[in-house]
Amino acid sequence: MKYIADMHTHTVASTHAYSTVTENAAWAAKHGIKYLGMTDHGVAMQDAPDTWHFENLKTLPDYIEGVRVFRGIEANILDSAGAIDISPENESVYYRILEWVNVSMHVQTFRPSTKAEHTKAYLGVLKNPYVDVICHSESIKFDYDFDEVIRACGECGRLIEINECRLERKGTQTDRYLRMLDCCVKYGTGVIVGSDAHFYTHIGAFDLADSLLTDSGFPEELVVNSAEERFLGYIRKREERIK
Ligand SMILES: [Zn+2]
Ligand SMILES: [Zn+2]
């Protein structure tokens, strides 16, 4: 498949990432990526930028190097109620500025618990209308009820991420992604392929995720970032949702 968006990327604002937003955008432009999510880690992560980073994203132009750069975040899921690290006092500021919200469970910010608690957390986070994507949820540490969450995700029009970076690790994630993809087909839930790039050369490089989707015969119409109309269709629905 051909991909036109990469909505999970990091910049030097998270100091364990090594490229600027301009370097990211320039690389994206050269590789057919027209839409780029600038999604640095939410503030609960030790290595994350301050709230100032997110509040000041309004300073950025919409287009950098000809690429539409979405002001985004990879927020951390903090508890089994599905709270994320956008504090209530900052909510209105953040959400007025943020154009894309990835959510993830990380061991640094969510102590792995039971399958039931992880399921509850994901179901809780989907109640937040600003949330777009549940990221790298294949993690065995954060096992959850795929059927229940992926069905709910499809019902409220949110997306499940196929994370290229996680597929590069050795382990069980391929099997788990295949089981997740089966559920996406069963419930008509959309997926998005994301690089989770911490260096610009990883942006838009989706070899493993693409093979996984293609080899498993996954329906292309459920892959939100493999066609511009589909991606923009999602953005329109998002705008409706948060109105
Ligand atoms: Zn990171
Ligand atoms: Zn992450």
Q: Which comes out higher in pLDDT, residue 171 or 29? A: 29
**DSSP string across 121-143:** HHHHHTTSTT--EE-STT-GGG-
Q: How much is the pLDDT for 92? A: 92
Say how far apart CA 228 and CA 97 lie, in whole Å: 23
Q: Is residue 171 over pLDDT 90? A: no
Contacts of 184 by beta carbon, 8 Å cutoff, 6+ apart: 150, 154, 160, 190, 191, 218, 222
- As a whole number of angstroms, the distance between CA 75 and CA 4 comes to 23
- Kindly indicate the confidence band of residue 102, based on its pLDDT and cuts at 50, 70 and 90: very high
- The answer to whether 80 and 113 have CB atoms below 8 angstroms apart is yes
Kindly give the distance from the C-alpha atom of residue 243 to the centroid of ligand 1, in angstroms, as a whole number: 30
Give me the pLDDT at residue 44, please. 97
Say what the pLDDT of residue 170 is.
82
Whole-model pTM: value is 0.98
DSSP 199: S
| Superfamily covering domain 5-242 | Metal-dependent hydrolases (3.20.20.140)
Task: For residue 136, report the distance from its CA to the centre of ligand 2, in Å.
Answer: 7
Q: How many CB atoms lie within 10 A of CB 187?
A: 17
Ligand sitting nearest the alpha carbon of 40: 1
pLDDT above 90 for 80: yes
Indicate the domain borders of the chain.
Answer: 5-242
Among the bound ligands, the one closest to the CA of 136: 2
User: Residue 89 pLDDT more than 90?
Assistant: no
Looking at residues 132-139, what average pLDDT do you find? 98
Q: Which two tokens stand for residue 89?
A: 């006092």
